[in-house]
Amino acid sequence: MQSCEKPQIEPQPRRAPRVSYRAAEAAALLAEAGTLALFGFGAGAPASTDPRYLPVALETLDASAPLELWQVDAPVSCGSDGALCWSAGGGWLFASIELDEHQHGGPIAAARLAYEQLHRFVATRDERHVQRVWNYLGAINQGEGDAERYKHFCDGRAAGMGDFFAEGFPAATAIGHHGDPHRLQVYLLACDQGGLRVENPRQVSAWRYPRQYGRTPPSFARAMVLPAHDALAISGTAAVVGHASAHQDNLDAQLAETLTNLEALLSSAGMAAGFDARSPLKTYVRHAADAERVREFLQHRLPGVPLLLLHGDICRRELLVEIDGWRYA
Ligand code: 3EB
């Protein structure tokens, strides 16, 4: 008897969105083919009601104040649902939510609600594999010990996510902005195919951090290989070795350690070493006065790499700088 095997239908590979920093008018970038998301930074960011556009509360430390653009190879549709905005195309989904903590019972309740609402929305979509999340909250280091606002954010995030990340945590960033301290912004990139989570062998996985870093360990993977294996989405990466912060009060040493961690992630993901002109990196700098030194250091060590410098507080007080970004294969 002949076996009658079903012809195997290969799922279409989902080419990674292309991320770039662009000095152009927001309207022109939104009108380009395949624009999935666009980000402005700080008080001077352009205004637009397009659901694909998110004005991020972090101030830019670059004189040129560029916009960040995500593009896919397909037509994009978009919409909004209360505080949640979304866009989708080519198997990719961008979703963002902005909440005022005052209107939602404080930082824990607001983080919980943000994650509940994102979860509820993503669950209605084919693009339910969350690859990458960004969290921007105000006054992140205010409060002592378990009462620090970052710790409250971690509590609320864990309470709100439920089984959102049952297949594993996405890559993430959590940074403090200097805008309205009660403004919480969370946005994500999801796909209809799953990625591969990557950890850093030099670091304890964040969800295994010991109790001294808070009741609720941070829930993120160090990086995510996107579904077509054509890009690595890199989480917020700082001078953390093991679980400890390294090089207190030493900016250059923290930068060097951060670059070592970034290289460790590339190696862990099985990618060639180094960053290039297609692989944008975003650098969060705690003290605006350090921006020039940070730029000089990174331009020297990462020549040709597109850099965006933002004024942001890292979730541990002793950390002066953190870098996240993309590496295309
Ligand atoms: C660290 O390595 C730095 O809470 O989502 C980096 C990336 C950090 C994401 C998060 C926190 C988060 O632990 C802090």
Residue 61: give its domain's CATH number.
3.30.1330.40
pLDDT value, residue 81 = 93
Tell me how many domains the chain contains: 1
pLDDT value, residue 63 = 86
Q: Regarding predicted confidence, which is higher, 173 or 65?
A: 173
- Atom 13 of ligand 1: nearest residue by CA position: 206
Token pair 């609402």 is found at 117
Nearest to 228 by CA among 13, 21, 10, 24: 13
* Phi, psi of 55, rounded to the nearest 5 degrees: -80, 110
| pLDDT tens-digit series, residues 79-129 | 999 999 999 999 999 999 999 999 999 999 999 999 999 999 999 999 999
Alpha carbon of 322 to ligand 1 centroid (Å): 9
Q: Which amino acid is at 326?
A: W
Report the pLDDT averaged over residues 208-218: 96
DSSP 201: T
- The answer to the question of residue 176 being in a domain is yes
Give percent of the chain above pLDDT 90: 95
Alpha carbon of 163 to ligand 1 centroid (Å): 20
- The answer to the question of residue 112 being in a domain is yes
Q: Give the structural domain span for 151.
A: 18-328
Alpha-carbon distance 220 to 238, whole Å? 14
Question: Best substitution site from 148, 175, 184, 220 to test ligand 1's pocket, by max atoms within 8 Å of Cβ?
Answer: 220
Is the pLDDT score of 179 beyond 60? yes
DSSP 329: -
| pLDDT range class, residue 1, cuts 50, 70, 90 | very low
Catalytic residues, by residue number, are: 322
**Maximal C-alpha separation, the chain:** 77
pLDDT value, residue 231 = 98
Is the pLDDT score of 15 beyond 50? yes
Is the pLDDT score of 9 beyond 90? no
Question: Residue 262, SS3?
Answer: helix
Q: Is the CB of 246 under 6 A from ligand 1?
A: no
Question: Best substitution site from 136, 173, 224, 314 to test ligand 1's pocket, by max atoms within 8 Å of Cβ?
Answer: 173
pLDDT value, residue 5 = 57
| pLDDT tens-digit series, residues 302-329 | 999 999 999 999 999 999 999 999 999 9
The pair of structure tokens assigned to 263 is 């290289």
pLDDT value, residue 212 = 95
| pLDDT tens-digit series, residues 215-246 | 999 999 999 999 999 999 999 999 999 999 99
- The answer to the question of residue 3 being in a domain is no
Alpha carbon of 119 to ligand 1 centroid (Å): 20
| Enclosing H/E stretch for 108 | helix 107-122
Report the pLDDT averaged over residues 36-50: 97
Nearest to 141 by CA among 11, 315, 322: 315
Alpha-carbon distance 196 to 43, whole Å? 36
Q: Is the CB of 188 under 6 A from ligand 1?
A: no
- The answer to the question of residue 233 being in a domain is yes
Q: Which atom number of ligand 1 is nearest to the Cα of residue 319?
A: 3
Q: Is the CB of 221 under 6 A from ligand 1?
A: no
Nearest to 26 by CA among 37, 34, 14: 37
**Whole-Å CA distances, 255 to 16, 176, 177, 263, 322:** 28, 19, 20, 12, 8
- The answer to the question of residue 6 being in a domain is no
Alpha-carbon distance 170 to 153, whole Å? 17
- The answer to the question of residue 230 being in a domain is yes
- The answer to the question of residue 2 being in a domain is no
Token pair 């297949």 is found at 167
Alpha-carbon distance 55 to 38, whole Å? 8
Alpha-carbon distance 288 to 99, whole Å? 26
Give the predicted TM-score (pTM) of the model: 0.96
Alpha carbon of 315 to ligand 1 centroid (Å): 7
| pLDDT tens-digit series, residues 257-288 | 999 999 999 999 999 999 999 999 999 999 99
pLDDT value, residue 247 = 98
Q: Is the CB of 265 under 6 A from ligand 1?
A: no
- The answer to the question of residue 231 being in a domain is yes
| pLDDT tens-digit series, residues 152-168 | 999 999 999 999 999 99
Q: Is the CB of 238 under 6 A from ligand 1?
A: yes
